[in-house]
Amino acid sequence: MDATGRPQSLLLLGGTSEIGLAVADAWAERSPGLRVVLAARPGERRDAAAARLEGRGCRVEVHDFDALDDGAHVRVVEKARAGGDVDVAVVAYGVLGDPELAWQDPEEAGRVARTNYTAPVLSGVALGAMVRAQGHGVVVALSSVAGERPRRSNFVYGSSKAGMDAFYTGLGEALRPIGGRVLVVRPGFVRSRMTAGLDAAPLAVGPEEVARAVVDGVAAGREQVWVPRPLRPVMSTLRHLPRPVFRRLPL
């Protein structure tokens, strides 16, 4: 971080994520010459993401990364650190999956669980080691309000996000005494590729709104942010509703 608290280096795990790229865009405006490490599967989307950020004046590094390769998490974090300390790392990958297939098909259930929970845990372990070695660093975990109280309509996804959220909340406590921080970000419905074709839920936002919340949250030293903010009291209410009432809601 520079003297004003702005990051000089950013690692995006899931480097083609629309939210992750929006975060990089937002910081590029505030930190000229920002070093951005894009970790993603090779392909046209990754190439386009790198070109987009280079066009904004970023110094871009690209590394191959498949979240479902257990060994890839440590490897890519070590490669990122080889170019200098990482100020902020964003865990930006995830899948929505097919909600009805996921609770009936072991393969789909496993894909959602591994991508949204197991893989982020492995990323978090690797990033935790990085923060310990550096003595500083912020980890941003893109969670979801779906993890607050999983709904019948997408409970496999919701359960995977609940686990991820709990892990990164705990990681923040573990890293805090040694100079690290974790920001858990809980967006509601985000208009993106992942939700294309779905009816937008109330209080829907775009990737840019999530990005602004991330940038502001890191600057303010927050540990959790809700996007948009009114979701916090809404979800608090839903979380405490009796189950017979909750199941009757059109969720």
Which residues are known to be catalytic? 157
Query: End-to-end CA distance of the chain, in Å?
Result: 41
The answer to whether the peptide bond before residue 202 is cis (omega within 30 degrees of 0) is no
Contacts 24+ apart (CB under 8 A), 207-210: 207/18, 207/19, 207/21, 207/22, 208/22, 208/25, 208/26, 210/19, 210/22, 210/23, 210/142, 210/185
139 - beta bridge partners?
89, 182
- Inter-residue contact 168 to 141 (CB < 8 Å): yes
Q: Which residues of 161-200 are buried (b: 16+ CB within 10 A; e: fewer)?
A: bbbbbebbeebbeebeeeebbbbbbbbbbbebeeeeeeee
Q: What whole-number distance in Å separates Cα of residue 31 and Cα of residue 24? A: 10
Tokens of 53: 């950020």
Burial class (CB in 10 A: 0-12, 13-18, 19+), 212: middle
Q: What whole-number distance in Å separates Cα of residue 10 and Cα of residue 12? A: 6
Q: Which residues of 86-96 are buried (b: 16+ CB within 10 A; e: fewer)?
A: bbbbbbbbbbb
